[in-house]
Amino acid sequence: MNEAFLHTVWKYKLLGKTRFMGSKQETIDVISVGEHNQDSGPDFFNSKIKINNVVLAGNIEIHIKTSDWLKHRHQHDKAYDNLVLHVVYEHDTELPQNEKFNVSVLELKQHISSSLLQQYHQLQVSKQPIACGKSITTVPDIIWRSWMDRLAVTRIEQKTAYVEHLFQYSQQNQEDALYLLLFRNFGFKINNEAFELLGKSLPYSILKKYADNALQIEALLFGVAGFLEDFFNDKYPKQLQNEFEFLKHKHQLIPLKNENWKFSKTRPINFPTIRIAQLAKVIHKRQSLYHLIEQKPDIKVIKTFFEGDPNEYWKTHFRFDAVSESGSKLLGDAAFYSVVINTIVPYLFFMSKHSLHTDYVDYALDLLSQLPPEINTKTKEFSKLGINTQNALESQAQIQLLDTLCLKKGCLNCSVAEFLLKNSA
């Protein structure tokens, strides 16, 4: 038993009735439970009740025991003077404050059903990653879909906060902010920081000048990344070195240290050298990604923008001067989906916020709905329960649900638990 559970019971009217008897045998009719307050102060604002035919409007405080009022030292806080009702699970003492302000006390112990308590207990003691796993498929589809939409939007908005950070870093240049975000996400987690540092060390204003010259783009990227500081046998890296030597001095560029990059514990296709080669192909376009997504193109058009093999050299290499079996180094589907999910979609939300065009949000959500669902250890927890995930919008929502609520036992803030508790009340 905790106060959060009592808040849920009160907020969602899980007591099954609205008329009660107070601690002094007064009749209490709950007209409105009020607005749940998540900050300091009384637990519910703007509540409306009727006591013995007298209608009162004000705040409600909820405790496990009446004496918790004293433990929490509310008697010294004037914010609690305007109470119309003190709701407790167990009324264990009379309070001078309640007597002084004529505040009625409502004890809930006898009004909370055993089935509701049992359902709550099962959620709290479950050792499964998803506590409601055995019951989750009983939630009506309309409730589940609505909850998924809300969670997906919340997740995207959280990612948008980082876009705002890059926007401020870029002196409020929207195109530069997108450039940095794209670079960061080409690190595919393990090299995110290094790729962002590469983007910050090589301004987009410089790269744009050479967008029509693939070799110079590659030289700039590999050179600033610090991959051209060695002696090479192969012709291609020697060409890059020669190009970069001139460009480095011209633009006063400082190469990063090799230690920034991680190769271990990653598949060769995800080596930073390959990702830089793929990124060079994306930069080597007449149209920037920023101007592309401004036009709200179809997902197929966006995919075409990221297609194209990097320099021929990489067909037989994963690193300079190290021959490997021949194979395409195209940006794979999974990598492309990741770029859409982590770069384009959050950036569209950011654009909506700064341009006040809400159609960017609708467009972003539509892009997610066109992508297949992500398959990873987190989404597999839901598929094991028999949940059919239809697209990336839903898989993003599931990741948000697991990370922010399920794994933290935040059931009382979840629409699924809300439904299950209402059904058991």
Chain segment 1-32, per-residue pLDDT in tens: 789 999 999 999 999 899 999 999 999 999 99
What letter would DSSP give residue 25?
S
In the structure encoding, which two tokens stand for residue 413, read together?
A: 């803030």
Angle between helix 141-169 and helix 392-404 axes, rounded to 10 deg:
80
Rounded to two decimals, what is the model's pTM?
0.86
**pLDDT score at 219:** 98
Summary mean pLDDT of the chain = 94
Are 61 and 13 members of one domain? yes
Residues 160 and 101 occupy one common structural domain = no
**Inside any domain, residue 73:** yes
Q: Which of 37, 31, 38, 97 is nearest to 66 (CA)?
A: 97
Same domain, 142 and 199: no
**Which residues are CB-contacts of 33 (< 8 A; sequence separation ≥ 6)?**
10, 11, 13, 44, 47, 60
User: Mean per-residue pLDDT for 378-400?
Assistant: 96
On whether both 192 and 205 belong to a single domain, the answer is yes
Q: Quick check: is 21 in a domain?
A: yes
Shared-domain flag, residues 317 and 201: yes
Domain range for 50 is: 3-112
Q: Please tell me the total number of residues recorded for the chain in this structure.
A: 425
Q: What is the pLDDT of residue 356?
A: 64
| Partner residues linked to 317 by β-bridges | 323
Kindly report, residue by residue over 91-101, the tens digit of the pLDDT. Answer: 999 998 888 88
Of the three residues 279, 300, 331, the one that is the final residue of a domain is 331
Say if CB 103 and CB 84 are below 8 A apart: yes
The 10s digit of each residue's pLDDT in 81-123 is: 889 999 999 999 999 888 888 999 999 999 999 999 999 899 9
213 and 288 belong to one structural domain: yes
- For residues 267 and 228, state if they share a domain: yes
